[in-house]
Structure formats: structure tokens, C-alpha cells
């Protein structure tokens, strides 16, 4: 029976890892559909930035209630996986608490994991309460209708169920340890699950073993399912936040990238005797029509979005009733990227592009203040995507708003945004 259990575990583990790796390869391929961008200078500053923002959660705690609860869940998620490692070894080898040989350190570790599991459970309950009872506005806005809202709820409920299963499993394990049952050696400390003992002490040894093994299998299968659900969920940011913060551009916020091809074209037009740079090819297009026109970092941003809504909650355009939601820009970019990736795998095309998902009204509502960039806990930059899409609208489709078209005309004719003759520029310096 033990051998059958081991074989079944190995098969489940192998299939789960294979499915997870397949999805990760899909996401990685999609990210690198974006155009090339070099972001690896000043590695020391990047490691520091990642340590502070991704690991240290420095931007999360600016909103203390959500920030502290998130740290509970985040630390629990990371460290409890050490116990999952032991469960995997036990499942493959047919052992039980294989790491208990380290003695007192093991007892401290298991006790710490229990406290973390309870903190995760508590944090998820509070987050569910904030989302569905208090109905915090940024967690219930229109751009979260449908799947995004269900996705957040599924993850929170799943974590509650998994942590509850872990604590119940430990409680039954402790009862069997106290009874000296074979295979259940005395190991670990149980500061939380010990309070569940009254629920199980009346059970017979056989019943306890069946239930303990059931909770063990339920917990580990739940972990495997959760692992494979994660890359399809907005909670993929648990993984993506680290590389996304590391690759954050180190330039000042609000500094726009110069389009070198435009500069070259203008220089060639202004100087008829100038020669094009060696190997230079005229630009095929300007700005971003679809996700492949964005940089790979923009696409990594899309997969890193936590959908927390902090960006939208500080956006002045959104606050004043405009259609723009920076969160929706990132979600739409990710949705379109998923669609493009699926089309590649199916060897088909469609007649959509990123502008199908993000309207001109949304794009032109942006004030480029970068409040959304400052608020994002994982350094996502919706403004960069918006600006590239605007460039396409203006330079490819001549579809700028009428107010801007007037300014463009003045720049072309008068060399300034205002409707004054160029010959009168000298008069601006005269005292009135």
C-alpha cells in the first residue's frame, strides 16, 4: 500500500511540475514578443531596489492595514513552502516528517510555520471582509467585474482552506504522537493546532490515521492545484514582482524615451547633405499598435499587475470621473498578450490590436503625472504604455484630439504652440 501511495505521489508531482513549467514557458515566450530593451546597468542599484520594494514591501506599507496583512500572507506563502518541501520528500520516499532529525530546530520551525499559517488564514479572512463586506471602492470598481473579482476571491478562499487543512493535519498528527502510534514519532511543536485537539481526541487510532492521511493528501494536492492556478491568476505577481522590480528603469519618473528613428529622420530632412547612419533603415511604424510594439518590460509589467487598484485610486483623471483606469490599461495589455500568444500557438491571426482593448478616450485622459507609477507596489508603469499608444494614434493615424491638432498646426507654422507670427517672437522680450 505504501508503494502504491509513493507511485501515485510521484505521478501527481511530475504532472504538476510539467504543467507548471509549460505555462511558465508560455508566459516567458509572450513577454519576449515585445521589442528589445536593455535594462541591466548598475546592478548594485537594481539589487537594492528589489530588496526594498519586492522583498521589503516598502511601497505596500504606505497603506498600513493592507500592507501589514499582505506581509503576513506574503511571508507565510514563502516560508511555509519549506514545510511543503518536507511533504514532497515524504511523499516520494514514503517517510513521515523526514526532516525531524534536526531536533530542536525542527520543533521551532514547525511552530513558526503554524503561526504563519494562522496569520495567512487571518489575513485572507480580513481581505475577504474588506472586499465583500466593507466593499473598499478600489477593490469593487467596474474594471474588476466578472473574472477578476472571482479570481481574487478564489485565491483568498483557497489559501484559507489550505491553511486550515494544514492545521487540522498537524492536530491529528499530534494526537497520534501522544498515543505513541507507529509511524508518528514525536516531532515538532504545535502552538496553534494544539487548540484543535479536543475535536479529535475522541477518535479511534484508525479513524485518526485515515483523517490525518486524508488531510495530508488534500493539502499537498491543493498545493499542486494552487501552483498551476497561480500562473493564470493575477496572483502570479508573487513570482513576477521580483524580476519586474529588478528590471525597473533607473531613469527619473516622467522622463520619456526619445524615438531615435524620428530624430534621425528629422536630422536628414534638415540637412540634405547628411548621410544616413550605416545600416540605418527607415522606421516601419511609430508607437504601439499592438503588444508586439511594446517593450518586453511593458509586457512583464502586464504579467506583474496585482490588480490592487492603488494606481487607479490616485489617478487624477479617474478621480474626476474620466474613463481612464491605469489598472484597466495593465489588465487589458495582459489580456491582449494572452490572446496573441494563443493565436501564435494555434497558427492563426485576428483583426484586433491593443487599441481594441484600450480606447482613445482612455489614452487621452491621462495627464502623465505618474501618480500611478509612484503608487504601484511592484513598480509597474502604465504611463509608458499609454504614451506609446498615443504616439501610434498621432504619428500613424493622425488621430489626435482637436485641441492638440491646433497646437501641432501652430508648431508647424509658427515654431511655437501659440498662434503668433514667428516674426513677432522678438517682441515677446520687450517690456510692455
Residue 31: the pLDDT is: 97
Residues 88-101, mean pLDDT to the nearest whole number: 87
The C-alpha cell at 5 is 501511495
26 contacts: CB under 8 Å, gap ≥ 6: 341, 345
Identify whether the C-beta of residue 298 lies closer than 8 Å to the C-beta of residue 385: yes
Q: How far apart are CA 212 and CA 242, in angstroms?
A: 36
Residues 339-356, mean pLDDT to the nearest whole number: 94
Nearest Cα to 369, choosing from 431, 314, 295? 314
Residue 432 has pLDDT above 80, yes or no: no
Nearest Cα to 157, choosing from 132, 187, 186? 132
- How confident is the model over 135-159, as pLDDT tens digits? 999 999 889 999 999 999 999 999 9
Identify whether the C-beta of residue 155 lies closer than 8 Å to the C-beta of residue 79: no
Nearest Cα to 383, choosing from 314, 430, 337? 314
Domain boundaries for CATH 1.10.1060 within the chain: 285-418
Residues 20-32, mean pLDDT to the nearest whole number: 97
Options 2.60.40, 1.10.357, 1.10.1060, 1.10.1740; which CATH number does 285-418 get?
1.10.1060
Q: How far apart are CA 387 and CA 372, in angstroms?
A: 14
Residues 231-247, mean pLDDT to the nearest whole number: 94
Give the residues across from 344 on adjacent strands: none
DSSP 289: S
More confident residue, 254 or 174: 174
Give the residues across from 295 on adjacent strands: 35
Mean pLDDT across the chain: 90
Residue 423: the pLDDT is: 75
DSSP H/E element including 152: helix 147-178
Q: How far apart are CA 383 and CA 372, in angstroms?
A: 8
Q: How far apart are CA 261 and CA 280, in angstroms?
A: 9
- How confident is the model over 153-188, as pLDDT tens digits? 999 999 999 999 999 999 999 999 988 888 888 888
Domain boundaries for CATH 1.20.950 within the chain: 2-31+63-246
Q: How far apart are CA 245 and CA 253, in angstroms?
A: 14
Q: How far apart are CA 337 and CA 331, in angstroms?
A: 10
Options 2.40.50, 1.10.1740, 1.10.760, 1.20.950; which CATH number does 2-31+63-246 get?
1.20.950
Residues 96-111, mean pLDDT to the nearest whole number: 86
- Residue 2 burial (CB < 10 Å; 0-12/13-18/19+)? exposed
Amino acid at each position: 500500500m505504501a508503494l502504491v501511495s509513493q507511485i501515485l505521489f510521484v505521478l501527481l508531482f511530475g504532472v504538476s511540475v510539467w504543467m507548471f513549467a509549460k505555462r511558465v514557458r508560455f508566459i516567458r515566450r509572450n513577454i519576449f514578443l515585445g521589442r528589445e530593451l536593455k535594462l541591466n546597468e548598475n546592478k548594485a542599484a537594481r539589487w537594492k531596489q528589489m530588496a526594498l520594494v519586492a522583498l521589503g514591501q516598502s511601497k505596500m506599507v504606505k497603506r498600513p492595514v493592507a500592507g501589514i496583512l499582505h506581509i503576513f500572507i506574503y511571508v507565510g506563502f514563502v516560508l511555509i513552502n519549506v514545510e511543503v518541501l518536507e511533504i514532497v520528500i515524504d511523499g516520494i520516499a514514503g517517510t513521515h516528517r523526514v526532516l525531524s532529525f534536526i531536533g530542536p530546530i525542527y520543533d521551532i520551525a514547525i511552530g513558526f510555520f503554524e503561526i504563519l499559517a494562522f496569520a495567512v488564514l487571518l489575513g485572507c479572512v480580513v481581505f475577504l471582509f474588506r472586499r465583500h463586506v466593507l466593499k473598499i471602492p478600489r477593490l469593487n470598481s467596474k474594471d474588476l467585474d466578472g473574472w477578476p473579482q472571482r479570481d481574487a476571491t478564489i485565491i483568498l478562499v483557497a489559501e484559507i482552506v489550505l491553511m486550515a487543512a494544514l492545521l487540522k493535519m498537524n492536530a491529528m498528527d499530534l494526537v497520534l504522537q501522544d498515543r505513541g502510534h507507529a509511524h508518528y514519532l514525536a516531532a515538532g511543536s504545535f502552538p496553534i493546532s494544539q487548540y484543535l485537539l479536543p475535536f479529535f481526541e475522541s477518535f479511534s487510532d484508525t479513524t485518526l490515521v485515515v483523517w490525518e492521511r486524508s488531510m495530508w493528501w488534500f493539502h499537498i494536492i491543493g498545493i499542486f492545484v494552487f501552483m498551476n492556478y497561480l500562473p493564470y491568476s493575477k496572483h502570479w505577481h508573487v513570482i513576477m514582482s521580483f524580476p519586474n522590480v529588478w528590471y525597473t528603469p533607473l531613469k527619473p519618473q516622467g522622463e520619456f524615451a526619445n524615438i531615435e528613428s524620428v530624430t534621425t529622420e528629422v536630422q536628414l530632412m534638415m540637412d540634405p547633405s547628411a548621410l544616413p547612419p550605416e545600416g540605418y533603415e527607415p522606421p516601419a511604424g511609430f508607437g504601439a499598435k499592438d503588444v508586439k510594439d511594446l517593450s518586453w518590460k511593458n509586457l512583464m509589467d502586464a504579467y506583474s499587475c496585482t490588480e490592487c487598484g492603488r494606481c487607479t485610486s490616485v489617478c487624477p483623471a479617474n478621480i474626476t470621473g474620466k474613463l481612464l483606469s491605469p489598472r484597466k490599461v495593465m489588465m487589458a495589455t495582459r489580456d491582449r498578450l494572452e490572446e496573441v500568444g494563443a493565436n501564435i500557438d494555434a497558427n492563426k491571426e485576428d483583426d484586433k490590436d491593443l487599441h481594441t482593448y484600450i480606447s482613445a478616450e482612455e489614452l487621452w485622459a491621462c495627464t502623465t503625472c505618474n501618480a500611478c507609477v509612484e503608487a504601484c507596489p511592484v513598480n509597474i508603469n502604465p504611463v509608458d504604455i499609454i504614451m506609446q499608444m498615443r504616439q501610434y494614434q498621432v504619428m500613424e493615424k493622425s488621430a489626435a484630439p482637436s485641441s492638440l491638432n491646433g497646437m501641432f498646426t501652430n508648431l508647424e507654422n509658427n515654431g511655437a504652440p501659440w498662434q503668433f507670427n514667428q516674426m513677432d517672437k522678438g517682441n515677446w522680450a520687450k517690456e510692455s
